[in-house]
Amino acid sequence: MKNYFMKSFFRPEKMLIILVMGLTLLASCTNDYLYSKKEPAWLGSSIYDYLKTDGHYTNYVKLIDDLGYAEVLKLTGSKTLFVVNDSSFTEFYKANVWNVKSYTNLTLSQKKMLFNFSMVNNAFLLHTLTNYYDGALHEGAAMRNVTALNALDTISFDIGEKVSTGKYWDNYRTKGIHVMKDDSDHPIVFFTPQFLSKYAFTDEDFSILTGGKTRAANDVFVFNSKVIKQDIVCKNGYIQVLQNVLIPPTNMAQYIQDNSKMEIPTNLRTSIFSKLLDRFSAPYFDATKTVQYHLLHPESTDSIFIKHYFADNGGVTYLPSKTSTGTPEPALNRLPFDPGWNSYHAFTPTTSTALQADMAVMFVPTDDAMNEYLNSGVGAILKKSFGSWENVPDQIVMPFIKEHMRSSMIESVPSRFRKMVDAQNYQLPVTTSDIKASYTAVNGEVFVTNKAYPPVDYISVYSPVLLSTNTQIMNWAINYAPNGYAFYKLYLNSLVNTYSLFIPTDEYLNKYIDPIAYGQDKQGVLKYKFISKTSSVTAYIYAYDKTTGVVGTVVVDSITSTNNNANNPTFLSNRLWNMLDSHIVVGSVDNGDGYYLTKGNDFIKVGGSGTSMTVKGGADIVNTSTPPKVTEVFSQANGKTYFLDKPISATLKSVYQVLSENPEFSTFFELLSGVPSNYVEQLFETQGIDNRVKFFNAYRYTVYVPTNAALKTALAAKIIPSWDEINAMAPNDTLRNIAINKIVKFLKYHFQDNAVFFGQPVNDQFQSSTLKVDNNSTLWGTSKNKYFKLGVVGDANSLKITMDSKSGDPIRTANVLTADPITGKSLYNLIAKDYVFNDVPVKFKNIDGTGTVLGAKFNTSSISTSASAVIHQIDNVLTFE
């Protein structure tokens, strides 16, 4: 604090005031003091007297006189004026946006704007103008300062095409409206050597920001006008002489709107973006400003409105309309900041940046760029869905606009383009060659670009879901964020991975067989419907007979995401997320026919390509009905999105059920089921639809099932003991537990981590589920306390398994059979799924509310996780000994 005081105390502007005060005090103490009758010559005249006497500022002096500021600028005070000489006014009258040809053509409002915008109500040398204090001194860090311009001086009467677009402005298009484009202070923007050096702006940065200007080392620019005469000292402040007449620039929003006019070159117009932006603005009546305006203009009886944008920073968060209870209606679609806020400064709930320190940036595509995006590449889906930009809904337009808005100019100058990332931390791919024009507004820099920069929502595999009108159910599921974190949206927007996303369109989400209800006495299906008015999802529950496949015609119950039951959104998202998991493949499926693994560890079988592609889940493979078919394909930046005419149906059969219902697997199933109930290591447990493999995790597995004959041969050869032999032993017999352990390890060696399918190429080793507990060396080099391995080699016509036998022993193999030796049945590539629910199905009431008295309500049930397995019949048992 001491350092700041000393630096501040000895600055010229403060010394000037102190000396004048000191001279007055000294004069009262003595009669012969030199300056008791006159001021020191070095102090100079007043600002007004200097301008008047010099003779080169007659136009500016007229402004002072006409506005009644002569006496103010003659007195001792604290002002900084940015003036222009008569030569600059002469050039101004030749061509200007106001079409003013001489001083006499200036209106009173124009005179006020020219004069007040050139005056800062404090005394600054240029090298101190670039400092600011906000509790700490920031030297060389300022680029803006507030002027004397009053917002009342900027009120315009807009009518017809001058009225902003958007539904809140339509009532004023014919009758007109007196409107302030903003009611906050109007700052000037300046570029000093200290500021440019502090933030390492390059000469190219400066040139692009100022529309092609160049600068010398000590040059100072106010907007794009050079200060040609610096720091003229007057007794009541300082004069800075500009090269050009300074008409107050507009704010960013107004510039973007003005840049839509017909006189603007076609290749630079920004009317499309401006209209999209103005959707999120409205006129707000201001009683105080109306009274103030009437005092200045007694002849007026008009109301004064202020244009505000719906925004989190500097804008309003409520609509002009009110709810049925009379309270303001919240604005749900909000910009990150108000682009019309003159006094813009960045702030968050925990931090704030001073007005002087920085301003915003907007990248605004030309109309040509907007149309090009709409008619080509990933943008074409917008046109297909909505026809034109004006038909794109607000909630979809909003992320597009946000992508073009940045909170800091310092971090968004051309030399930093390559480092820019958006709110989701994805690179914003702007290059200097994209910039067609730039404009320094009072609250930020506008870069007019020849490209549009869509958000990741528009280019990822999620984009078709967001932008299509018939995928709103899945869009709700992807965006549902119970903890403020929309996992699936972030997941699908990742540009690091490649995805194949399958989306059943809304009209086909009418027969989701609920897995938990499938395990109950009364089964049910869910028919989903999106409710546009409330942006919610409702699931209508119908009875279902899993034996006949018949769906009932009467609604048993319904579950809606927006009603007062807190369990409902959780129930709906749980089921839809489970479905979504089985419809996402990490990677491409363009290779054509074959099996693929989904995010949810489900297996799907893909056939064909493009709109001839079919996609079968485990249930679809065994059913004879028509499989899901692709209706549309969208090529996106991180993969492809496929719309389907029905959901992919995962199997509802567990490993337990598949093994138990096939007589050809009976011996293997009996061995698995024979583990004594009191043995520490059980192979099955009651969970999911019926029973699940207890040692499965949320993963994918392969189960190799020897033929009944092969197992009987192994039993006869005493490779493993039979359960009859084990059960005949005394319960406390040590040999009994050893025998049980032997058979359990033998059985688990037939369960392999990772799924392999017959007919697809493979050549690898995979872990089994049997742990090696000795130091013996093996064929596949398995170490102690690691799982025994299986070597698997397969092609289009075969799949061979080589066992992890002890080193030196004969190599033992088994082959997947394409037909059972006795029945001829094909028992390979059978798909099963073991669910884990938050409780077993019998602990919940049925879909119609019947069931156990103490059972939890059906809408409290949830799918926790699942494991999938592919099952193959093999011609030999698998052993590691």
Which of 101-105, 350-354, 533-537 has the least mean pLDDT? 350-354
How far apart, in whole angstroms, are the C-alpha atoms of residue 579 and residue 503?
A: 10
Q: For every residue of 662-700, which 3-state class applies, written as one string?
A: CHHHHHHHHHHHCCCCCCCCCCEEEECCEEEECCCCCCE
**Which residues have CB under 8 Å from 171's CB, separation 6+?**
none
Beta strands in 386-430 (DSSP E): 405-406
The DSSP secondary structure of 160-188, one letter per residue, reads GGGSPPSTTTGGGTTT-EEEES--S--EE
Percent of the chain having pLDDT more than 90? 82
Query: pLDDT at position 28, please?
Result: 38
Residue 695, by phi and psi: left (phi above 0), alpha (psi -120 to 50) or beta?
Answer: alpha
Q: Comparing C-alpha atoms, which of 582, 604, 608, 586 is closest to residue 595?
A: 604
Q: Comparing C-alpha atoms, which of 791, 713, 806 is closest to residue 754?
A: 791
Confidence of residue 563 (pLDDT cuts 50, 70, 90): low
Query: pLDDT at position 40, please?
Result: 59
Residue 562, by phi and psi: left (phi above 0), alpha (psi -120 to 50) or beta?
Answer: alpha
| CA-derived radius of gyration, the chain | 39
Query: pLDDT at position 14, please?
Result: 44
Q: What are 821-870's pLDDT values in tens digits? A: 999 999 999 999 999 999 999 999 999 999 888 899 999 999 999 999 99
Q: What are 26-70's pLDDT values in tens digits? A: 333 444 444 444 555 556 799 999 999 999 999 999 999 999 999
Q: What are 644-673's pLDDT values in tens digits? A: 999 999 999 999 999 999 999 999 999 999
Q: Are 512 and 526 in contact (CB under 8 A)?
A: yes
CA 634 distance to own-chain centroid: 20
Q: For every residue of 564-606, which 3-state class applies, written as one string?
A: CCCHHHHHHHHHHHHHHHCCEEECCCCCCCEEEECCCCCEEEE
Q: Is the pLDDT of residue 18 over 60?
A: no
Query: pLDDT at position 16, please?
Result: 43
**How are strands ordered across the β-sheet holding 177-180?**
156-158, 177-180, 304-309, 281-285
User: In this predicted model, which residue has the larger pLDDT, 25 or 446?
Assistant: 446
Query: pLDDT at position 39, please?
Result: 55
Percent of the chain having pLDDT more than 70? 94
Query: pLDDT at position 485, please?
Result: 85
Q: What is the mean pLDDT of residues 194-220?
A: 96
Q: Are 436 and 244 in contact (CB under 8 A)?
A: no
Q: Looking only at Cα atoms, what is the longest distance across the chain?
A: 133
Query: pLDDT at position 151, please?
Result: 87
How far apart, in whole angstroms, are the C-alpha atoms of residue 276 and residue 373?
A: 15
Q: What are 366-414's pLDDT values in tens digits? A: 999 999 999 987 788 888 889 999 999 999 999 999 999 999 999 999 9
Query: pLDDT at position 24, please?
Result: 39
Which of 36-45, 361-370, 551-560 has the least mean pLDDT? 36-45
Confidence of residue 279 (pLDDT cuts 50, 70, 90): very high
CB atoms within 10 A of CB 853: 5
How far apart, in whole angstroms, are the C-alpha atoms of residue 630 and residue 613?
A: 6
Average pLDDT over the chain, rounded to whole?
A: 91
Rounded alpha-carbon distances, angstroms, from residue 652 to 385, 602, 646, 827, 844: 36, 11, 17, 18, 18
Confidence of residue 767 (pLDDT cuts 50, 70, 90): very high
Confidence of residue 349 (pLDDT cuts 50, 70, 90): low
Confidence of residue 25 (pLDDT cuts 50, 70, 90): very low
Q: Is the pLDDT of residue 322 over 60?
A: yes
Confidence of residue 21 (pLDDT cuts 50, 70, 90): very low
Q: Is the pLDDT of residue 590 over 90?
A: no
Q: What are 89-140's pLDDT values in tens digits? A: 999 999 999 999 999 999 999 999 999 999 999 999 999 999 999 889 999 9
Buried b / exposed e across 343-355, counting CB within 10 Å, b at 16+?
bbbbeeeeeebbb
Confidence of residue 17 (pLDDT cuts 50, 70, 90): very low
* Helix-strand-coil split of the chain, %, nearest 5: 30, 25, 45
Indicate if the alpha-carbon torsion angle 113, 119, 120, 121 is positive or negative. Answer: negative
- Tokens, residue 523: 């089964």
Q: What is the mean pLDDT of residues 161-171?
A: 91
Q: What are 749-758's pLDDT values in tens digits? A: 999 999 999 9
Q: What is the mean pLDDT of residues 672-681?
A: 91
How far apart, in whole angstroms, are the C-alpha atoms of residue 481 and residue 476?
A: 10
Amino acid at 663: P
